[in-house]
Structure 1
Amino acid sequence: MASRTLRLNMPQWQGGDEPAYRFGAELLRWLAPEHDGPEETVFVPEPNGRAPEIDHGIKARTVLLSQARAARAAIERHDPDRIVTLGGDCLVDLAPMAYLNRKYPALGVLWIDAHPDVMSAAEFSHAHAHVLGMLLGRGDEAFTAEVPKKLTVSRVMIAGMSAWTDAEGAILKGLGLRHVPAADLARDSQPILDWIETEGITHLAVHFDLDVLDPAHFSPLLFNRPDVPAGSFDGIVQGTMRLEQVVRLLNDAGAAADMVGLAIAEHLPWDMLRLKQALADLPVMKS
């Protein structure tokens, strides 16, 4: 029987206004295990070097909406039971999460991220920092319209977030979102397992933003971008988890509930990108 798991490739970069997200998503697709089920790749235009337009306070709003709708259409063509999404910036999870929440009445969402992604254009122009808010009904009306059934707040848990800005804190409190810091997940997954049991979660969708990881121990992250001035990332919360901790957490959560969604986002393999560019400059490669 053919797999009912859709592999959705979405090399979206405009949500974070970082062209390297495109290459990161393409490399992630190559790194992922072979897949015998349906696969779709959302068309995302290559960066052209021009600054993105700002509409309703959001950078590249028009193209991001178009890509979100293309992802929704790709998903609906297959009506899958499960979706694995390889991105791209965090906004790639808008359509998959919205679909899975319609399909599974008791869906839980585990948001593994150093940041809550609940802001809107009022606080920040990069839409990759808005996506969880949109899924809960907060933010730009055109994007929230792409989520006919909003997530249930009690069945959302942010894992690995250890600090936040004042603006994010106010939004988190207003929404009533729960969160577990990285330190509480360092040795075991019990806080997440307790949440799954308490909320009666039968199906689970996971958003895994790689920036939840400690940049001192995992290199392909925004904070390890080479050749940036000192202090460029001051004030931006950095992750503290280890990759093996997240893998353990996902395996434990997957044993407690049926994992029907997994999105991996914000892969920035700077060294590989530098090597790709260097290879293109070598004389023999040009012939």
Structure 2
Amino acid sequence: MKLYFPQWQGSGTGKIIEDGARTILEYLKDPEFINVPLSEIKAGSNGEKKHNINNYDAIFEQLARLQKKIEEEQPKKITTIGGDCGLEIIPVSYLNQKYPNLGVIWFDAHADINTPNDSPSCNFHGMPLRTLLGEGSKHMDPLLFSTIDASQIHYIGVRDIDDGEQTRIQNGNIYAPKKVDIQELITLLKSKEITNLYLHFDFDCLEPDDYDKTYYQVSEGVKILEAEMYIEALQENFNIVGSSVLESTTVEISELTPIKKIIHSLV
């Protein structure tokens, strides 16, 4: 199942994330992508915060729409062009319910494992992993098909971590090295008897000198060639049941040139 879901409300005010998703869709020209409409509830600068989540009503409404679409289709695999990272609670929780031994590979500069009460921004795109753990807002729990365990989470490129997130990562013994050794990661995944993977790819995991058309730029990121190698190695060793490309902000197709191989590898 191929989904186009350019949710931006989870970023707070970053509507340019929707524009970036549209650019990738236009570049691919793939008619198989299903457009799941976003909410028309006011958001961004005119949005409302509820339960310590900015734009809560809009996010919940459109995620419920996405949940219903996936539930109706019962896909074996899910590929998503998005959108902010908050959307991941739907496909990941669905695939986790469907597949045993699912590992979640989180290519991201940010840990995305805040609770609403701990989040400095109250933006939902910093909360999806905590929500998937069943430790986020109880008001988001009805959207989940299932919850995951901390042992399923593995970060690549993470380097901008809030204090509360660091505590959760340490307490959960979550894989979050400063520098990834891909063979070490593969060995770790296999030692956990993980056979299926979900590849979440937020383009801000990349080094901004390589690609800076992202909602956030964080230095000392993953080089594009490294990311390509990591993805290829994971695809060779595991069954990829889901993937996403998220939070690119370019509105120019020509500016996608450095990341074309990553896009094609994942979608």
Say yes or no: TM over 0.5: yes
Instruction: Say whether 1:220 aligns with 2:217.
Output: no
Residue 243 of structure 1 aligns with which residue? 224
Amino acid at match of 2:36: V
Count how many residue pairs are aligned between Structure 1 and Structure 2. 249
CA distance change for structure 1 residues 44 and 173 in 2, over 3 Å: closer, same or farther? same
Matched residue, 1:28: 24
> C-alpha separation between the residues in 1 aligned to 2:216 and 2:200?
20
* Corresponding residue for residue 92 of structure 1: 87
1:192 to 175, 185, 192: 185
Q: How does 1:40-189 map to 2 (within 5 A)?
A: 40-45=34-39, 50-124=45-119, 125-181=122-178, 183-185=179-181, 189=182
Cross-structure match for 1:229: none
Give unpaired runs (5+ residues) of structure 2.
254-267
| Shift in Å, 1:238 | 4.2
When Rg is computed on C-alpha atoms for both structures, the one with the higher figure is 1
Aligned partners of 1:122 and 1:13: how far apart in 2?
21
* 165-174 or 40-49: bigger deviation: 40-49
* Per-residue CA distance 1:148-205 (angstroms, 9 max, x = gap): 4211221221111135232221122233322132x334xxx21221122111111111
The one-letter code matched in structure 1 to 2:148 is L
- Read off the aligned partner of 1:200 and give its amino acid letter: E
Structure 1: gaps (5+ residues): 1-5, 225-236, 273-287
Shift in CA distance, 243/32, structure 1 to aligned 2, threshold 3 Å: farther
Q: CA deviation at 1:142?
A: 2.1
TM-score, normalised via structure 1 length: 0.80
CA distance in 2, matches of 1:135, 1:61: 17
Q: What is the alpha-carbon distance in structure 2 between the residues aligned to residue 156 and residue 263 of structure 1?
A: 16
Query: Which position in structure 2 is the counterpart of 1:208?
Result: 201
Q: SS where residue 222 of structure 1 aligns?
A: coil
Deviations 1:116-156 (A, max 9, x none): 10002112210000001111111111213322421122122
Q: 2:249 aligns with which of 260, 268, 271?
A: 268
Note closer, same or farther for the CA distance 1:49–1:108 as it changes in structure 2 (3 Å cut): closer
Question: Partners in 1 of 2:43 and 2:200 — Cα distance?
Answer: 29
Q: Distance in 2 between matches of 1:58 and 1:191?
A: 37
CA distance in 2, matches of 1:148, 1:44: 20
- When normalised by structure 2's length, the TM-score is 0.86
Evaluate the alpha carbon distance shift between residue 80 and residue 239 of structure 1 in structure 2; reply closer, same or farther with a 3 A threshold: farther
Q: How far has the Cα of 1:33 moved from its partner? A: 6.5
Are 1:85 and 1:93, in contact at CA under 8 Å, matched by a contact in 2? Answer: no
SS where residue 173 of structure 1 aligns? helix
Q: For residue 111 of structure 1, give the secondary structure of its aligned residue in structure 2.
A: strand
Contact 1:220 1:268 in 2 (8 A): yes
**Cα pair 1:108 1:196 within 8 Å, conserved:** yes
Q: CA deviation at 1:50?
A: 4.0
Contact 1:113 1:159 in 2 (8 A): yes
For the 8 Å contact 1:219–1:269, the answer to whether it is kept is: no
Give secondary structure in 2 for the equivalent of 1:191.
helix
- SS in structure 1 of the partner of residue 166 of structure 2: helix
Percent identical residues = 25
Letter in structure 2 aligned against 1:24: G
RMSD, aligned α-carbons:
2.1
Counterpart of 1:8 in 2: which secondary structure? strand
